[in-house]
Structure 1
């Protein structure tokens, strides 16, 4: 993801960034650059405009259903605290006078 972010940051200049541009951007924030990954991003984006790739990604993302998973998880999450409340912690046993082995602090 950092390589794509560096590519998009470099694309803000109006040109298609090279592998060296990505390496320079990542290096500026102290991240070592893997040449293979940088080259992969550059080759995948060759001949494409970043704006067009983002726009096509947004249309794909819009078709992903997201409402059902959250609604199904809510009842399960509500049941968990109820189960935790039902469990009772064992009562601590009262201290007996023999616990201090016959020696008291103020005896």
Structure 2
């Protein structure tokens, strides 16, 4: 991810086709170890492609991924019952814990 971020930063700065040395300079400037094989892979995958188009394609793909909002709306009724049961169980566990010491404290 850091190599992709460096590549995108360089493009935003006006470098149309960032080279390995450019990415290395960005990565090492913030004190991160540099792995040339990963940077070369990013360069090979993105070389000659329009970044804006790739981002737009990625956003359209993400739009089709279900989100937690859909799950929460569909399971709201079940969640309400589960929460009540969890609270009841927690209260029972707290009562049991208080009985565990049988009236004797560790430092009494």
TM normalised by structure 1 equals: 0.71
Q: Which residue of 1 aligns with 2:27?
A: 26
Q: Comparing both structures, which one devotes a greater share of its residues to helix?
A: 2
How many residues are paired up?
96
SS of corresponding position for 1:30? coil
1:42 pairs with 2:81: no
TM normalised by structure 2 equals: 0.70
- How far the C-alpha of 1:77 sits from its partner, in A, is 5.2
Between 1:86-95 and 1:31-40, the stretch displaced more is 86-95
Q: Which residue of 2 aligns with 1:12?
A: 12
**Gaps (5+ residues) in structure 1?**
101-107
The root-mean-square deviation of aligned C-alpha atoms, in Å, is 2.5
C-alpha separation between the residues in 1 aligned to 2:24 and 2:18?
10
- Bigger Rg, which one: 1
**Gaps (5+ residues) in structure 2?**
none
C-alpha separation between the residues in 2 aligned to 1:73 and 1:23?
48
